[in-house]
Amino acid sequence: MKIIKAGITAVKGIKGQGIHAGFKKNKLDFTIIYSERICTAAGVFTKNKAAAAPVLLDRKFLSDGKAQAIVCNSGFANACTGEEGMNNALFTAEYASEKLGIRKENCLVFSTGIIGIPLPMDIMKNAIDTTVPLLESSNSASENIANAILTTDLVKKEIAIENDNYTISGITKGSGMINPNMATMLCFIFTDADVSSNILEKCLKNSVNKSFNRISVDGDTSTNDSVVVLANGLSNVKVDTIDKIESFSKALDFVCVELAKKIARDGEGATKLIECECVNAKSQEDAERISKSVIDSSLVKSAVFGEDPNWGRIIAAVGYSGAEMELDKIEIYLGTLRVVNKGIGVSFSQEEAKKELQKECVKIIINMNLGNFCSKAWGCDLSYNYVKINAQYHT
């Protein structure tokens, strides 16, 4: 497996384009991604009970495990828009599929942005008309696609890898409203491997649990969270044996984890990425609970922003995580610097602690000394700028 310098169109048979359609004032805000061959497909969506219209539609469309195109606008979430919102999502799929020459059920629709405002369908119709003739497989098209799905993000987020003679590429967006229960984000992954929809679904759910469900910026869960993977088989590499499935699953894990970390690193107002690793927990569930609890703590996030080695906030988050623990066995490290041993704070260099907290990626390691299960979660610090951004963002 190796990372390649490319975007979403690195996958055989994938074309796309991103344009400025007018959903936002002056940024790219609309994209279509299209596969020359119909794909097996799988998706994982928000657990928010106020799920947006596109989420409800895509769940229905993916019931047969097939898809061929993605249409996405940025600027309006089409969430909490009632029957009009559902009709608009369906019209988008119908109109785009007609222009692309595919079944409407194979055209997945996504929206991200402000909640509660109906989609401007005159802009949507014109966006589809404009974009379809521009679809291509160039690097510039990949870059436009990755930028067109962003909202408050500061940077585009993409990755492409080669593995066992096939390619997997993915893009994602997300910066705020991020909580480890599917972050506030969209993620589109394509591969030219030949994978059945059943295997694809199992691999995706497993990968999402190891990645997007383990990131946190602000503890909020969005109405539009979606991760989908489409496989068109154009590499002619079948993923149909135990070894090949395991290799594909690991490659998909890698793509999802890298994209999830990019989201956490670009959290609204963030200055640092935080990685929390829980080791030697009594169960896998406990390890995941602990790492998520620490990464989700506003007090831990604030301490990291202030470069304050306040280990008490970390151990408190472990304590209320619901995981089994024995206080007198816990060790806590900031990077390689031990700050807690047997549940008690130890003498350590404040200067060394500050150095660890000044790093671009701050690592917190918690050793429970109860078993052999481990888990990682990712988040970012909580800065003054986060409050400023969200105080001024119209929702």
Cα–Cα distance, 10 to 6 (Å, whole number): 6
Cα–Cα distance, 71 to 186 (Å, whole number): 12
356 labeled binding residue: no
Q: From the candidates 9, 112, 184, 221, give the one annotated as an active-site residue.
A: 184
Q: Which residues pair with 273 in a beta bridge?
A: 361, 380
The DSSP code for 276 is E
Which of 159, 52, 168, 192 lies closest to 109 in space, CA to CA?
52
> How many other C-beta atoms lie within 10 A of the C-beta of residue 106?
21
Beta carbons of 168 and 189 less than 8 angstroms apart: yes
State the distance between the two ends of the chain, measured CA to CA, in whole angstroms.
41
Q: What is the 3-state composition of the chain as percent helix, strand, coil, each rounded to the nearest 5? A: 40, 30, 35
292 labeled binding residue: no
9 labeled binding residue: no
Beta carbons of 339 and 364 less than 8 angstroms apart: no
Q: What is the dihedral of CA 214, 246, 167, 288, to 10 degrees?
A: 0
| DSSP character string of 210-235 | HTGGGEESSS---SS-EEEEEE--TT
184 labeled binding residue: yes
151 labeled binding residue: yes
Per-residue b or e along 368-378, where b marks 16 or more CB atoms closer than 10 Å to that residue's CB: bebeebbbbbb
User: Is 184 a catalytic site residue?
Assistant: yes
173 labeled binding residue: yes
Which of the residues are catalytic? 184
Binding residues: 151, 173, 184, 268, 390, 395
Binding residues for substrate: 151, 173, 184, 268, 390, 395
